[in-house]
């Protein structure tokens, strides 16, 4: 298990970063749907009340308004829970924002199963599959607070719609402060040739934990942080496929349509003789429980990931 690891929530890092960006760029505005405290944007409201808009429980209207603000030269950062953005307001994201390619940044929190006891209705295990299938949409899943700050900064400079997926609870810091981040370019956090784990979000830290456990058994596991799901780093995936016979994808998402699907699509198109196994939610609705308990139940913690890798080897 991970011990003595510095932790910080990605949504907390977002709240701090958007204030810094707001000071530098007066065109940045923040929209929320009655969730300013939960999504950590209340600080932006205090600093820039004239650039903060709370739409109440009206996510669809919020997305339409964000599209309108973007046409006027503003850079809207829309903040709500992942389940609400990806499903309740999917049509508005697709038609009002992505279709015309408007410069809207959709920053969602409480993604995956991080809502825990909040209930199955609030788990977001389909959002990546939905968002990556929408044309013009860039999909980013930061692995920790350090990467979140850099992703938010990069998204501000990037022209076009972006979906950034954040969690709820504190996550282990896995990236150095001087880490050079680039949209669409994955990073190697650990070398290994027996197995290579391609992970996203919180699962990067859990994969590093699994790699440390398996090293004691003489199994070398490499870990790739695939922070951008779309456009995905095909070159990095193909390099991994050359180095190993087994790639394992690790995601806090349904194994259908998410990171695992994206990686296998790349390898299949290139006709590489590399086996890919997907670790994630096995196409079921997740039960209700504490976040860490759920990670353990669905074998998405370090112990569970290590157990599945050993089984496949």
At 91-140, the pLDDT tens digits run 999 999 999 999 999 999 999 999 998 889 999 999 999 999 999 999 99
| C-alpha to C-alpha distance for 199 and 228, rounded to whole angstroms | 10
pLDDT confidence bin for 272, thresholds 50/70/90: confident
Q: Which two tokens stand for residue 187?
A: 């990073």
What average pLDDT does this structure show over 189-196? 96
Determine the pLDDT at residue 52: 98
| Span between the terminal Cα atoms of the chain, in Å | 21
Determine the pLDDT at residue 2: 57
Please give, one letter per residue, the 3-state secondary structure of 25-36. CCCEEEEECCCC
Determine the pLDDT at residue 1: 53
Task: Provide the whole-model pTM.
Answer: 0.96
Give, for 10, the enclosing helix (H) or strand (E): helix 10-24
pLDDT confidence bin for 5, thresholds 50/70/90: confident
Percent of the chain with pLDDT over 70: 99
pLDDT confidence bin for 3, thresholds 50/70/90: low
Say yes or no to pLDDT of 41 above 60: yes
Say yes or no to pLDDT of 270 above 90: no
| C-alpha to C-alpha distance for 111 and 167, rounded to whole angstroms | 5
Determine the pLDDT at residue 313: 84
Q: Is the dihedral of CA 76, 232, 294, 10 positive or negative?
A: negative
36-59: b or e for each residue (b if 16 or more CB lie within 10 Å)?
bebbbbbebbeebeebbbebeeeb
Neighbours of 13 (CB within 10 A): 24
Question: Phi and psi dihedrals of 196, rounded to 5?
Answer: -120, 120
Neighbours of 3 (CB within 10 A): 5
What domains, with CATH codes, occur in the chain? Answer: 7-172 (3.40.50.970), 187-312 (3.40.50.920)
At 152-187, the pLDDT tens digits run 999 999 999 999 999 999 999 999 999 999 999 999
What average pLDDT does this structure show over 284-292? 94
SS3 8: strand
At 224-248, the pLDDT tens digits run 999 999 999 999 999 999 999 999 9
Choose, from 16, 42, 50, 59, the residue flagged as catalytic: 59
Say yes or no to pLDDT of 259 above 90: yes
Residue 59 falls in the annotated catalytic set: yes
Percent of the chain with pLDDT over 90: 93
SS3 280: strand
Going through the chain in order, the beta strands assigned E by DSSP cover 7-9, 28-32, 52-54, 75-81, 105-109, 138-140, 162-165, 170-172, 187-190, 195-199, 221-225, 228-230, 246-254, 275-281
Say yes or no to pLDDT of 76 above 60: yes
Residues forming beta bridges with residue 54, ordered by sequence position: 32
């Amino acid at each position: 298990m991970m011990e003595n690891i510095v932790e910080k929530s990605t949504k907390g890092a977002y709240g701090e970063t958007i204030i810094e960006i707001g000071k530098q760029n007066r065109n940045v505005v923040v929209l929320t749907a009655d969730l300013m405290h939960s999504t950590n944007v209340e600080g932006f409201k205090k600093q820039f009340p004239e650039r903060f808009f709370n739409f109440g429980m009206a996510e669809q209207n919020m997305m339409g308004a964000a599209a309108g603000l973007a046409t006027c030269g503003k850079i809207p950062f829309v903040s709500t829970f992942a389940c609400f953005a990806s499903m309740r307001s999917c049509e508005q994201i697709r038609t009002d924002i992505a279709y015309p390619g408007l410069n809207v940044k959709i920053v969602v929190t409480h993604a995956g199963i991080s809502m825990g006891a909040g209930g199955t209705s609030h788990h977001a295990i389909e959002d990546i599959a939905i968002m990556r299938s929408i044309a013009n949409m860039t999909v980013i899943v930061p692995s920790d607070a350090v990467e979140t700050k850099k992703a938010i900064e990069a998204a501000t400079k990037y022209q076009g719609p972006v979906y950034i997926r954040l969690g709820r609870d504190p996550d282990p810091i896995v990236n150095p402060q001087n880490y050079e981040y680039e949209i669409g370019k994955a990073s190697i956090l650990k070398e290994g040739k027996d197995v290579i784990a391609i992970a996203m979000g919180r699962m990067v830290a859990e994969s590093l934990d699994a790699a440390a456990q398996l090293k004691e058994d003489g199994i070398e596991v490499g870990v790739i942080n695939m922070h951008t799901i779309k456009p995905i780093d095909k070159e990095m995936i193909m390099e991994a496929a050359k180095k190993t016979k087994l790639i394992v994808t690790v995601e806090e998402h349904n194994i259908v349509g998410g990171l695992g699907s994206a990686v296998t699509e790349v390898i299949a198109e290139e006709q590489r003789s590399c086996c890919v196994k997907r670790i994630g939610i096995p196409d079921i609705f997740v039960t209700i429980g504490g976040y860490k308990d759920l990670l353990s139940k669905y074998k998405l913690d370090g112990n569970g990931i290590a157990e599945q890798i050993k089984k496949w080897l």
